[in-house]
Amino acid sequence: MKGIIFNIAERVVTDRWGAETWDLLLDRAGLVGAYSALGTYPDEQLVAIVEAAADALEVSVADVLRVVGRDGFVHLAGRYPDITARFTSAREVLLDLDGVIHPQVKALNPEAIVPEFEAARDGDTVVLRYTSRRGLCHLAEGLAAGAADTHGETVTITQPSCRLVGDDACILHITFITPDGDG
């Protein structure tokens, strides 16, 4: 997994709970050291950090991933300004996810394993199919919510299908809520 994801997780933790909490999570996960944004690290290290956070906060791993995604989107957008600069809405970002960051990641590291997204619009809802061997669909949920936050939009997110519970695919429904309360 690319180090930028670790950097974002660290930023979210330190922003919310302080640098000492990040160090505590690394200790609980049995890890030491710093993560370079361009480095590649074993997926198991992120899993260990997230599990340590879930245990420390007494919440689910899914909830930790959602928070990291939601709060981390602004940091990701800071590193990749095209995420927000070329789009006028979160809906536009979501409909072009495979064209946003992953081409840049693949250009730097052609062997990088990145998730795949298929997005379609269904009225006020973006239906997002998430495919990845990592099973971080809850991180994707958080990133979608963070994209909406960044663009000043309100969304509801459901996941009617998830590979983590035995379904064939992870499908996210991101419904945009207009200020008058309608979708």
CB atoms within 10 A of CB 179: 7
pLDDT given for residue 180 in this prediction: 66
Q: Where are the domains of the chain?
A: 3-71, 90-106+114-177
Q: Which residues pair with 122 in a beta bridge?
A: 125
Candidates 126, 166, 140; CA nearest to 68 is: 140
Q: Is the pTM of this model over 0.85?
A: yes
User: Based on C-alpha coordinates, what's the Rg of the chain?
Assistant: 16
Angle in degrees, 0-180, between the axes of helices 43-57 and 3-17, rounded to the nearest 10:
20
H or E element, residue 137: helix 137-150
Q: Which residues pair with 157 in a beta bridge?
A: 174
Contact 170, 131 (CB under 8 A): yes
Residue with tokens 């939009």, as numbered in its chain: 153
Q: How far apart are CA 142 and CA 50, in angstroms?
A: 14
pLDDT given for residue 183 in this prediction: 57
- Of the options 3.40.50.720, 3.30.460.20, 3.90.1520.10, 1.10.3720.10, the CATH number for the domain spanning 3-71: 3.90.1520.10
pLDDT given for residue 164 in this prediction: 93
Angle in degrees, 0-180, between the axes of helices 137-150 and 61-79, rounded to the nearest 10:
50
SS3 labels along 29-91: HCCCCCCCCCCECCHHHHHHHHHHHHHHHCCCHHHHHHHHHHHHHHHHHHHCCHHHHCCCCHH
Architecture of domain 90-106+114-177: Alpha-Beta Complex (3.90)
90-106+114-177 matches 3-71 in CATH topology: yes
pLDDT given for residue 155 in this prediction: 97
Output phi, psi for 35, to 5 deg: -115, 130
**Looking at residue 163, what DSSP letter applies?**
G
Mean pLDDT of each 10-residue bin along the chain, 183 residues long: 91 94 96 87 95 95 97 89 81 86 69 85 96 92 95 96 92 90 56
pLDDT given for residue 50 in this prediction: 96
Q: How far apart are CA 167 and CA 171, in angstroms?
A: 10
pLDDT given for residue 108 in this prediction: 66
